[in-house]
Amino acid sequence: MKKVNLLMLLLALGETTFAQTFEFSAEIRPRFEYRHGFKTLMVDTLDAAAFISQRTRLNFDYNSDKINLFINVQNVRIWGDTPTLNNSDKNGVALQQAWVEVILNKQLALKFGRQEISYDDQRVFGNVDWAQQARSHDALVATFKPNETNTIDIGLAISSENETLFDTNYTQNNYKSFQYIWYHSKLKKLDLSFLILNQGYAFFDDNNKQHVDYNQTFGTHARYVSQKLKVDTSFYLQTGQIANRDLNAYNVALNTHYALTNHFNLGLGGELLSGTAMNSSDDKLNSFNPWYGTNHKFNGFMDYFYVGNHINTVGLVDLNATLSYQNHPFSAVLMPHIFYSEATIINAEEDELSKYLGTEIDLVLGYKFSKEVLFQAGYSQMIATESMEILKGGNKDASNNWAWIMISVNPSLFTTTFKKD
């Protein structure tokens, strides 16, 4: 009998049992917007825009001890962009993410496919979730975790438009390739990260021949968290070339948040992104580019800066404060910004203007109806100057404002966990 029991124990130890989980979830997120000076100053001859956009997603998430797999299909539409009897969709259904992560061992994993890449405060790499389409990359990311407190990610991407027999021009508004290393260490109350990014962008010379120039971004981000105080700071440098122009730029930021009470939080922050003077006499580029960051999160919610705009220009200095309230299910955030250009602005007569660009005031309200449903609304006002007019056009004296209402519904439709021997 003892021999039988011993044999059964050995057989049990020799078998491998692990859990597998599968979740099928969805997201529906309509957003109404009223734009009267959003992204740029209002033009007197034009009227405000009002519309409703909607993101609809289906998510398939599978996890086991050897692989993690995620597929996300989405449709992004404007209410009314197709007729009521349409037989096709304007934007159709797209793969926002489709990746698999192969877990080689406890320290090393390979993740490849269409995926979101997001690090630290999302200043350089972010998922841009505010945009209905969001941002994702076709990339390979190798993750090495030697222990619980340290992580190293190595990522690379190569971009082409088609399968070809010979080298062809790449015409997408995208990188031709990139390689990066991200290192993160968690030290009790301090999180410390380092990033090195090398990327190539295609451009055409005067003879319409395509070349690829490479530029580099490298820097660090640190975050300190205690019971009442949160501080984060970052510093990045950029060098290399863009479209045959030498690049030399930098970015520095510091933000602090202090819990005044259990419900109120006060924050003060500042950020400087270097720029190129409008009267610069050389061909050097001194304008910092946050590349793939979630830029709507920074420098005001009206997206005047670095959200598909303000690239390779006079840079920015952003001084801001935050007063936030959180008492479940309600939340509120009030955030004023004071904007300056980092480099010189001149007018048509080449007179140097003030660097003060304007002040923006953002207000966001939230109500968490349930775990799956969130209501949000916001209002922003821009008080602009003549210098902002030079950069953006439009009328600084118009009432430049923006308002929005958004409902986010994220139900988990089906979840199961089962063991496999």
For the chain, domains (ranges, CATH) are 18-420 (2.40.160.100)
| pLDDT on residue 6 | 45
Q: How far apart are CA 246 and CA 313, in angstroms?
A: 14
| pLDDT on residue 18 | 67
Which of these ranges, 11-20, 69-78, 243-252, 323-332, has the smallest mean pLDDT?
A: 11-20
pLDDT at 10 over 70: no
pLDDT at 13 over 50: no
How confident is the model over 51-77, as pLDDT tens digits? 999 999 999 999 999 999 999 999 999
pTM of the entire structure?
0.91
| pLDDT on residue 9 | 42
| pLDDT on residue 11 | 38
Which of these ranges, 8-22, 23-37, 146-160, has the smallest mean pLDDT?
A: 8-22
| pLDDT on residue 12 | 43
| pLDDT on residue 7 | 42
Higher pLDDT, 287 or 9: 287
| pLDDT on residue 418 | 82
Who contacts 410 (Cβ-Cβ below 8 Å, separation ≥6)? 25, 26, 27, 372, 373
Q: Give the mean pLDDT of 169-175.
A: 94
